[in-house]
Amino acid sequence: MTDVVDRTGGTGRTAATKAGNAAGTPPRAKALSAGSRVSGQPGARPAVDVAALGEQLLGKWADARRHARTLAANPALHKTEGLTHTDHRARTFGQLKLLVDNNAVHRAFPAELGGANDHGGNIAGFEELVTADPSLQIKAGVQWGLFGSAVMHLGTAEHHAKWLPGIMSLEIPGCFAMTETGHGSDVASIATTATYDDATEEFVIHTPFRAAWKDYIGNAAIDGLGAVVFAQLVTQGVNHGVHAFYVELRDPETKQFRPGIGGEDDGVKGGLNGIDNGRLHFSNVRIPRTNLLNRYGDVAADGTYSSPIASPGRRFFTMLGTLVQGRVSLDGAAVAASKIALAAAIRYATERRQFNASSHTEEEVLLDYQRHQRRLFTRLATTYAAGFAHEQLLQKFDDVFSGAHDTDADRQDLETLAAALKPLSTWHALDTLQECREACGGAGFLVENRFASLRADLDVYVTFEGDNTVLLQLVAKRLLADYAKEFRNVDFGVLARYVVTQATGVAIHRTGLRQVAQFVADTGSVQKAAIALRDEEGQRALLTDRVQTMVADVGAALKGANKLPVDKGAALFNQHQNELIDAAQAHAELLQWEAFTEALGEVQDPGTKVVLTWLRDLFGLSLIEKNLSWYLMNGRLSMQRARTVGDYINRLLVKIRPHALDLVDAFGYGDEHVRAAIATGAEKTRQDEARAHYRAQRASGSAPIDEKSLLARKAAGPKSRQG
C-alpha cells in the first residue's frame, strides 16, 4: 500500500502517492480498491472502496471533470499569491487563452460553430477550475458562461453567426452588463433604458442617473470589447421590460471606449483580484435595431413590438431563466472548494500531534480529539450531501438545456432548485474554509495552505448570481404557491377535513401527548431513542415534517394577503419574511438529505455503503441538532429523545474516524490540486523525526530528568522508607 496507517491514523504519503493522477484518481484508490469489502469475521471493520466511490462522485460527466482536472493541475493556470491586482489580471487573461487552446470552454456552444451541445459537461468541467484559481473560473464564467451564453440563448441564428465565433476564440472579450449600482438582485427594476428611434432604426442606450450605472461588471475595467447590456426596452411610448442588447464597448485597436460610453475601475476587492471588475455608463449610445437579442422579444422597423410570450412577467422570467447556469456552476464550484479545504485539513489532522492526553511519551493526533472530529466530520458530511444534490441539479440543468425535458414546469423546477442549493453550498464553503483554517492553527493562516486565499475569493459567491437571502425568498414563494394550489379548487368538505386533521395534529404536538408517548417508549433505554433517530425513515419524517409545518404556518398567516391593499399586504408579508426564508432553507437542506439518501442506493460495495450511511446519518442528525429548539417547542421530539441526538452524533464520529482519509481521498484531488503545504506529508516527517529523537534519548539513558518527576520522587521518598 502507498500509505502506512498507524494506531492513530497518521499516514505516510509516499512519492508514488504524491504523484497522484492529474485526471483525478484518488491518491489511495489503487491501494484500497482491491480489498474494500466488509469482512466476514465477527467485529470486522467495514472498508471504503475509494476507487468506486471516487467514480460515483465524479458523476455522469466524469470525463469532462477528468479533462478539467488535468488542465487545472497545470501550474500555468495556478494562482500566484502576492501578485498586484494589475499583474493578477494580466495573468488571468492570459490563462483564458490556454483554456481556448485546450478546448476547455466550447462544450455548450452549437456543434456547427465548433461546440458540442454538451451543457451538463460544460458546467461540470467549468466548476473544477476553482481548484486552479477562482479568478480564472469566474473570468471564464463571465466570458463564456454569461456573455457568450447570453448571445447564444437570448439571440438568434444571425447573432450566433456574427458574434459567437469571436466570443468562443476570445477575439471578442466581453461583459455581462446586468447589475446596476442601485439595483442588484432586483433586475426587473434596473433603470438603464433602450429607447427605439424608428427614424434611424436604432436603439438609444442611456443611463439616466448615477445609480443606473452598470456595476461590478467583470471585464469592464480593461478587457471587454463588447457587452450584453440589459435595459428597459421602450418603443412607441411603451416600456416592454428588461431585454438584452449587444453593444460594442471599445475600439479593438485602441482599446478606448466608443463615443458615449464611459466607465471606472472597481479597483482592489476582497478577493478575485484577477478579474477586472468595473462600472459602465451610457450617454445616448446608438446601436442598430438588429443588436437586440430578440429570441423572446423583437421590434420591427416601424417600432412595433412582438413576442412569442404574451405575459410580460413570464417573458421576463423566461429570459432570466436561460441564464441560470451561473447559479448552477457556483453551486458546484463551492462544493469543490469545500472538498479541497477538507482534504487539506483532514490530511493534516491525521499527522499533527498535540498534547499528551493518554500517554506520558506520545502526543495525540489532532483527529483523535472529539471536538476536532465534530468540526471536520460534520462539514465533511454536509459536503457529501451538497455534492450529491449538485449532481441532481446538474442533471436537471442538462435535461432542460438539451431539450430532453424542457417544459415551463421543468424550467421553473430548475430555477427553484438552483435558487435553493446555491445559497446552502456557498455559505457552507465559507464556513468550511474558515473552520478548516482554524482547525489547522497558525499553519492554516499561511497563504501557502490556501484556506485564507480561497475564503477571500469565494466570499462574493454568496451575493453574486443572486444574493443568497433573496434566492431563498424566491424558493419560499414557490413553496407557498405550491401549498396554495393544494386548496385552490377544493370544496368545503375537503378543506374542513384538512383543518380538523391539522387541529388534531396541533393538539397532539402542543399538548405534550406525543412527548409523553415518546417518553414512555424511550424510558429506560437510551439505545431505543438513538435507533429511532438513526433510522432513515425517522430522519426523513423529522426533516420533512419541519418543512411542511413551517410552510403551512406561514401560509395560514398570509392567507388573504393578496386581497389586502398593497401596503398592508406588503407589511403582512414582511412580518413573516424571516420564517419564510427559514422554511426555504429547511426545504433546501431536506433536498440535500434526500439526494444523499438516493445516492446510497447506487452504492454497490457493502463496506462503502455502511460508511456512507454513517456519514448520511451524521448529516441528518446534525440538521436535527441544529434545530433542536424547534423540534422541542413544536412537540416533535421528547426531551428524553432530544438528549440522545448529541450522544449518537458522537458515536458516529468514532465510527467515521478510521475512514476519514478514504472519504477525502475519494474526492479525487491530488497534491497538484490541493496545493497545501501541510497536506503533503511534511508534517508527518517532522513528527516522526521528533518522536525518533525522544525515543533515542530515552533508550540511551541520556534524557534529562523531568523536574516534576524528580519532585514526585522526593515527595514519595520518606513515605516509602516509613513503609
The per-residue pLDDT for range 3-44, each reduced to its tens digit, is: 333 333 433 333 333 334 444 444 443 333 333 344 445 567
Reported confidence tier of residue 362, pLDDT bands at 50, 70, 90: confident
**Contacts of 291 by beta carbon, 8 Å cutoff, 6+ apart:** 203, 245, 246, 247
What's the confidence (pLDDT) of residue 528?
Answer: 52
Reported confidence tier of residue 509, pLDDT bands at 50, 70, 90: low
Residue 549, pLDDT > 70, answer yes
**What mean pLDDT do residues 395-405 have?**
94
Residue 148, pLDDT > 60, answer yes
Q: What is the dihedral of CA 512, 517, 520, 522, to 10 degrees?
A: -100
Phi, psi at 112, each rounded to 5°: -70, -15
For residue 217, the surrounding DSSP H or E stretch is strand 214-217
What's the confidence (pLDDT) of residue 702?
Answer: 83
Q: What is the number of other CB atoms lying within 10 angstroms of the CB of residue 85?
A: 18
Higher per-residue confidence, 147 vs 484: 147
Q: What is the number of other CB atoms lying within 10 angstroms of the CB of residue 97?
A: 11
Reported confidence tier of residue 534, pLDDT bands at 50, 70, 90: confident
Of 195-204, 377-386, 488-497, which range is least confident? 488-497
Cα maximum dimension of the chain:
117
Residue 600, pLDDT > 80, answer yes
What's the confidence (pLDDT) of residue 577?
Answer: 93
CB 433 within 8 A of CB 453: no
Q: Which of 88, 68, 223 is nearest to 142 (CA)?
A: 223
Beta bridge partners of 246: 228
Of 449-458, 621-630, 681-690, which range is least confident? 681-690
Nearest 5°: CA angle at 521, between 517 and 524? 135
One-letter identity of residue 537: E
Which residues have a catalytic role annotated?
465
Reported confidence tier of residue 651, pLDDT bands at 50, 70, 90: very high
- Cell output for 634: 413544536
**What mean pLDDT do residues 48-62 have?**
97
d(CA 139, CA 272): 9
What's the confidence (pLDDT) of residue 489?
Answer: 52
One-letter identity of residue 47: A
What's the confidence (pLDDT) of residue 199?
Answer: 98
**Model confidence pLDDT, tens digit, residues 278-294:** 999 999 999 999 999 99
Residue 433, pLDDT > 70, answer yes
Ordered by where they begin, the domains of the chain are 85-321 (2.40.110.10)
Q: Which of 47, 38, 55, 58 is nearest to 5 (CA)?
A: 47
What's the confidence (pLDDT) of residue 601?
Answer: 96
Reported confidence tier of residue 723, pLDDT bands at 50, 70, 90: very low
Percent of the chain predicted with pLDDT > 90: 70
d(CA 478, CA 39): 48
Burial of 366 (0-12, 13-18, 19+ CB in 10 A): buried
Higher per-residue confidence, 404 vs 723: 404
**What mean pLDDT do residues 515-540 have?**
63
Residue 371, pLDDT > 90, answer yes
**What mean pLDDT do residues 709-718 have?**
76
What's the confidence (pLDDT) of residue 55?
Answer: 97
Residue 718, pLDDT > 50, answer yes
Indicate left, alpha or beta for 82 from its phi (over 0: left) and psi (-120 to 50: alpha): left
Phi, psi at 309, each rounded to 5°: -115, 115
Mean pLDDT score of the chain: 87
What's the confidence (pLDDT) of residue 518?
Answer: 53
Q: Which of 9, 3, 6 is nearest to 29 (CA)?
A: 3
